[in-house]
Amino acid sequence: MTIEVKNISKSYGASPVLRNIDLKINSGELVSLLGPSGSGKTTLLRIIAGIEEADRGSGAVVFDGEDVSDVDLGRRGIGFVFQSYALFKHLSVFENIAFGLRAKPRRNRPTEAQIKEKVQSLLELIQLSSFAQRYPSQLSGGQRQRVALARALAVEPRVLLLDEPFGALDATVRRELRSWLRHLHDTIHVTTIFVTHDQEEALEVSDRVAVMGNGRIEQFASPQEVYENPANEFVFKFLGNYNVFHGRSGAGALVRPHDIAIFRTSDGDRPDAAQTAVVAHIGFGGPVVKIELESDDKNRVDVELTAQAYHDLKLQRGEKVWFAARRAHSDFPPEYAI
Amino acid sequence: MAGAITARAPISIGSKRAVATESVLARRVLITITVVFLTIFVLVPLINVFNQAFSKGFEGYWSVFFPPQPPDDATLTFSQKRRLAEGAAQAARTWSSIGLTVAVAAVVLPLNIIFGLAAAWATTKFNFRGRALLTALIDLPFSVSPVVAGLVFVLLLGRNGILGPWATQLVWPDPFSLHWVGFENGVWPLAFGRTHTGVIFTPLAIVLATIFVTFPFVARSLTPLMENQGTDEELAALSLGASGWRTFFKITLPNVKWALLYGVILCLARAFGEFGAVSVVSGHIDVNDTMPLRIEKLWNEYNNQAAFTVASVLAFVAVITLVAKSVVEWKAARDAERTN
Amino acid sequence: MLKRKFLTLGATLGLVSLLGAGSTAAAADVRLLNVSYDPTRELYTQYNELFAAKYKKDTGNILTLEQSHGGSGKQARSVIDGLNADVVTLALGWDITAIERAGLINPGWEKKLPNNASPYTSTIAFLVRKGNPKGIKDWKDLWKPGVQVITANPKTSGGARWVYLALWGALANAKTHDFSTAQGQAEATAASAAAKDFPVYQNAEVQAQIADLFNNHVPVLDAGARGSTVSFAQKQLGDVLLNWENELWLARDEFGPEKFDIVYPSTSILTEPPVAVVDKVVDQRGTRAVAEAYLKGLYSPEAQDLAGQLHYRPRNLDALKKYSAELPNIPFFTIDETFGGWVKAQTTFFADGGTFDQIYKPAK
């Protein structure tokens, strides 16, 4: 199902949260809304779901060409997964998943046997078949998240909306669930929008990423596009760590830590622009090694090297080295400087 | 730079008992003060109530509710007959007061549950202008003297009150006088045996006054819990296509059931025990006596033993309330623990 | 679907109430509410039984009599506020006048029944501890050093107003009559009708004496007559209780004759608790006939005997004689002859800013 958001605005009192949002999502796409807190991403998701209403007369939410702005939350055919999971504490896992089926109007309510079958298959999908009779409190965070997802999927929604689905989980589980979600989406192909503040998550999982800041969509493109060709300084800064180098003109150049090369003093092939610095700190991070340099003008420069490159350089703390930017971003329109 | 991961710690409802680290002396002093205080102000009066109630033995206690019946063939003097008749009349009044107390509670309770749920829902799950004012208003009966509350109803509904002209003419059937009359008068076989005119100084006024003094209890015991739980579960149910009613009965209500029951218990205890507000609007008519009013009348008639006997019933209700309250608190704490 | 169910429910309820109301009108169950003051509870409990039985015999219908008892002034206030009393039987005429002024009782109520519409009388006497240790025999003994007097607050209690008038009249040597004879009663009635000016109000000496009594001999003023009895009898406060005669007898009966003695002063006031039909209520409820019969019945020989039995003074001289051992005859003065009636007494003595407010300065 395609989802179109047309010129949606929302404000709480005098403070605007969303400003004239336009967004078009293709059928079967997995899209993430990525942004810092306060960027309006969750509000946009809730407006698409029908939990919140856009400002009066501001625009429309359109599902498959049909304006659903005035359609109730329960009739939009969405599956919503809350950041808090919002599992029904007093119901078993089975009953949680079956809730939407039992709530259907009598004439299209499935029989008890059909419900059982459907719930069983969903339990298999989320790999919790033996947990049917447990209560939410007896599950781990990741398991709860999967139950919440299964519950939303049970009513066969036309669109799946996830609000910070992995926000409350620890790093390992997050990574696991992330790829699980990707595979799940590949299997069921339901149009999915999920909200996250985690760039890595958004870039890894999504077909397209909508980077949001200050109530606007700053860029809506594939992960590779937004990372490599950020539309503006905000997107660049939000998508990863960076160093700022001030040239003589006063304008700053922005450089990703992995776009900086380090040279030993003895190296002859270093570029002319290279500067000298001292190795202040070395942080091992598995495949990536984070080096902190202190430049001659007492600025801190973050550098990321592959483990291989680090090995080859044999850096020591306190050692004097040269560094230079391989790639810099300096051509953003000035109004986005923050 | 990179957005921080907001780690959400689970909110702890059931607090673990703090391990006291104060000195032994401080602990002993505090415990002694508490025990002495409770003994003087709670235990001794309570024991005294039962002591006075049984001052004429178990038979005396029993006869307050079930006056002695002489055998049919007994020859009694005039004054003996008088005493028996008086005893029977007193017992009948006592039973009438028990009946009215229970009836008022039975009417007030469901209304308070509905109001309490609505008020707690409105003030915790919606954000609107004047919400703080509404929350403060719900607490009003806690800070207003019950006597003043009763007088407000008199001033409002009395003959010279703002609603007086309407209220004093209002005729309403006594629901407890509904009885079977057969089909002779028409198709409907039931009829009311009596009607009341007016609101103030009738059982209706007692219901109103009791509602006034009890309505914060349910709302107040629900509010903190509902605030804590937020609206996510309800929204989840709605998003799954459940109707408002289904969401309420299947999700909201089970989530707050212990808090609701707690409020109900407090509300019942107050409804049974309220004196001030009810006294003002009862008009001192015997048929409008609730148990506390009956106790006062017995006391004023120098009938101390009977007064304490009825009081002991209220004290007994209070003890049951206390036990029920503790059970509910324990269950609620257990549930809260299970949730986390 | 749900909406339709609600509609059906509503219609059913409407039908129930309609039919219910219809058949209520046919029911012959009559109810009468008598709003009275505190001490009369037993009197009216027994009289109600008597009257209901008579009503059943005469008409075949069931009469349910409801009672309400409380402080006389408070009761009058409740009736004004909407308590649907068919009849009021209060402690003093002023309270009925208050209801009259609120437009609920027609003027002239005191003439509708014999004897100023008070079917029984009482008086103010003393209750002392057994053996009368302080030797209190007459009004003047109340001023003896160290004597503590218990009475209620005249501002709030009807009985206490009678106490206050009894004190004032006795000190001022008010003209008395012998109410145990028809001739004495007739003289009193004539004297009341003829009374024009009331010199007692100007008696500064009496006022000073009463001020001294309330300020130096009265340790506590209870709000009601019953409360003052409790203070004296149960809390053991004071040496002498000034109260209704019937209230003294009740206390003596309840706590035992071995604890208290009743002392009659040389003269006292004839207290006349009046009764009246509340015209507005009985006309609205259609209970005028039965309400009037109820009050008239209070003058019947049976009711008069009952009053005597319960230590009220019957108007009926035969009944009065029958109980003369417990209700000894002493000379009485009346409020009408001595003070010019309740309206005058109330406004002069007990209204806000009246004499009582001026003299009573409770010790801090």
Residues of chain C with pLDDT under 50: 1-27
| Cα C164 to Cα C160: distance, rounded to the nearest angstrom | 6
B54 backbone dihedrals φ, ψ, rounded to 5°: -100, 20
Q: Which residues of B touch C254 (CB under 8 A)?
A: 302
Q: Which of residues 164-183 of C touch B (CB under 8 A)?
A: none
CA of B201: which chain C residue's CA is closest?
A: C83
Find the chain B residues whose C-beta atoms sit closer than 8 A to any C-beta of A.
1-3, 5-8, 230, 232-233, 235-243, 246, 250-251, 254-255, 338-340
- What tokens does A89 get? 């504490």
pLDDT band at A26 (very low <50, low <70, confident <90, very high): very high
User: In angstroms, rounded to a whole number, what is the distance separating the alpha carbons of residues B237 and B241?
Assistant: 7
**Residue B283 is part of a domain; what is its CATH number?**
1.10.3720.10
Partner residue facing C285 (CB), from B194, B197, B287: B197
Asked if residue A334 has pLDDT above 60, the reply is no
Residue of chain C whose alpha carbon sits nearest to that of B171: C21
Chain-centre distance for alpha carbon B28: 37
The correct answer on CATH 3.40.50.280 for the domain covering C121-271+325-359 is: no
Give me the amino acid identity at C187: E
How many whole angstroms separate alpha carbon A99 and alpha carbon A153? 11
Q: At what angle do helices C93-101 and C72-81 cross, to 10 degrees?
A: 20
Q: Which two tokens stand for residue C134?
A: 């302080």
* pLDDT at residue number B180: 82
Residue B192 makes CB contacts below 8 A (sequence gap 6+) with: B173, B174, B175, B177, B178, B179, C20, C21, C23, C24
Question: Domain segments of chain C: what residues?
Answer: 30-118+273-299, 121-271+325-359
Q: What is the pLDDT of residue A248?
A: 53
Q: What is the pLDDT of residues B5-47, one digit of tens each?
A: 333 333 333 444 444 556 888 889 999 999 999 999 989 999 9
Give the β-pairing of A15-25 and A3-12. Answer: antiparallel
Residue length of chain C:
364
pLDDT at res. B14: 40
| pLDDT (0 to 100) of residue C316 | 92
Report the topology of domain C30-118+273-299: D-Maltodextrin-Binding Protein; domain 2 (3.40.190)
Yes or no: say if A234 and A338 are a contact pair by the CB < 8 Å rule.
yes
A137 contacts chain B (CB < 8 A)? yes
Q: Which of A180, A195, A145, A188 is nearest to A32 (CA)?
A: A195
pLDDT at residue number C363: 60
Question: What three-state secondary structure class fits B163?
Answer: coil
In a domain, B59, yes or no: no
- Confidence at residue B110, expressed as pLDDT on a 0 to 100 scale: 94
Chain C neighbours, 3+ Cβ pairs < 8 A: B
Question: Maximum Cα–Cα distance for chain B, whole Å?
Answer: 104
Q: Beta-carbon neighbour count of residue A5 at 10 Å?
A: 21
Query: Kind and range of the H or E element at C237?
Result: none
Looking at beta carbons, which residues of chain A come within 8 Å of B251?
88
CB C62 within 8 A of CB C30: yes
Answer yes or no: is pLDDT of A144 > 60: yes
| Three-class SS state of C20 | helix
Strand pairing of C149-152 and C221-222?
A: parallel
pLDDT computed for residue C104 by the predictor: 95
Backbone angles phi, psi at C92, to 5 degrees: -155, 155
- Tell me which residue has tokens 């028809």: C182
- What is d(CA C61, CA C32) in angstroms, rounded to the nearest whole number? 13
Residue B225 belongs to a domain: yes
Residue B99, in any domain of the structure: yes
Angle between helices C245-255 and C225-233 (to 10 degrees): 40
Residue A289 or B177, more confident: A289
Chain B residues within an 8 Å CB radius of A154:
240
pLDDT given at position B340: 55
Nearest-CA distance A128 → chain B (Å): 19
Q: List chain C residues with CB under 8 Å of B160.
A: 80-81, 102
C-alpha distance from B168 to closest chain C C-alpha (Å): 7
State the Cα torsion A301-A304-A308-A313 to the nearest 10°. Answer: 0
- Distance from C-alpha of C209 to C-alpha of C229, rounded to nearest angstrom: 24
Give the Cα separation of A74 and C96 in Å (integer): 67
Two tokens at C243? Answer: 């109260």
Coil/strand/helix, residue C111: helix
pTM of the model: 0.76
In Å, how far is A59's CA from the nearest CA of chain B? 22
Q: Which of B85, B157, B173 sits opposite C17 (nearest CB)?
A: B173
**How far is C93 from C81, CA to CA, in rounded Å?**
18
- Give the closest of B1, B230, B242 to A103, CB-based: B242
Least confident of A107-116, B142-151, B171-180: B171-180
Name residue B171's beta-bridge partners.
Answer: B197
Answer whether C touches B (≥3 Cβ pairs < 8 Å): yes
* DSSP symbol at B304: H
CB B113 within 8 A of CB B257: no
Neighbours of A86 (CB within 10 A): 26
Asked if the domains at C30-118+273-299 and C121-271+325-359 fall in one CATH topology, the answer is yes
* B188:C16 CB<8 A: yes
Nearest to A84 among B1, B7, B232 (CB): B232
A57 vs A29: CA distance, rounded Å: 28
Mean per-residue pLDDT over chain A, rounded: 88
B62 contacts: CB under 8 Å, gap ≥ 6: none
pLDDT score at A249: 53
Classify burial at A318, counting beta carbons within 10 Å of its beta carbon; exposed 0-12, middle 13-18, buried 19 or more. Answer: exposed
Please name the residues in contact with C166: beta carbons below 8 A apart, sequence gap of 6 or more. Answer: C123, C124, C242, C268, C269
Q: How far apart are CA A284 and CA B155, in angstroms?
A: 80
A74 is written with which tokens?
Answer: 């329960």
How far apart CA C19 and CA B339 sit, in angstroms, is 53
- pLDDT tens sequence across A181-197: 888 898 888 999 999 99
What is the per-residue pLDDT for B17?
47
CB contact set of A157 (below 8 Å; sequence gap of 6+): A77, A78, A79, A190
Angle between helices A141-154 and A93-102 (to 10 degrees): 20
Vertex C322 angle, CA C320 and C327, to 5°: 55
Report yes or no for ipTM above 0.95.
no
Rg (CA), chain B: 26
Distances, alpha carbon B235 to alpha carbons A329, B11, B247, in Å:
44, 20, 9
Q: What value, to the nearest 5°, has the Cα angle with vertex B169 and ends B164 and B175?
A: 115
Average pLDDT over residues A206-229: 93
Q: What is the DSSP string of B74-138?
A: ----HHHHHHHHHHHHHHHHHHHHHHHHHHHHHHHHHHHHHHHHHHHHHHHH---TTHHHHHHHH
Across the interface, of C19, C67, C251, the residue whose CB is closest to B286 is: C67
Handedness of CA A274, A280, A283, A284 (dihedral sign): positive
Q: Flag if B185 and C26 touch (Cβ within 8 Å).
A: yes
Q: What is the pLDDT of residue A247?
A: 61
pLDDT in tens, A88-106: 999 999 999 999 999 998 8
Find the helix or strand (DSSP H, E) in which A302 lies: strand A300-306
Residue of C5, C16, C23 best to disrupt the B interface, most CBs of B under 10 A: C23
From chain B, the residues in CB contact with C68 under 8 A are 283-286
| Residues of the domain holding B287 | 79-161+199-339
The structural domain count of chain B equals 1
Model confidence at B121, pLDDT cuts 50, 70, 90, reads confident
Judged by DSSP in three states, A161 sits in strand
pLDDT at A57 over 70: yes
State the pLDDT at residue C28: 57
Closest CB from A82, A137, A199 relative to B236: A82
CB contact under 8 A, B235 and A242: no
If you average pLDDT over each of A235-249, B118-132, B204-218, which comes out highest? B204-218
**Interface residue of B231, B233, B239, B247 to substitute, partner A, most A CBs within 10 Å:** B239
Which residue of C lies nearest to B178 if distances are taken between CA atoms?
A: C20
What is the average pLDDT across A234-244? 88
Whether residues C24 and B201 touch (CB distance < 8 A) is answered with no
The CA-atom distances, in angstroms, between A34 and each of A160, A235, A239, C21 are 16, 10, 9, 69
Q: Is A14 exposed, middle or buried (0-12, 13-18, 19+ CB in 10 A)?
A: exposed
Chains with 3 or more CB pairs closer than 8 angstroms to A?
B
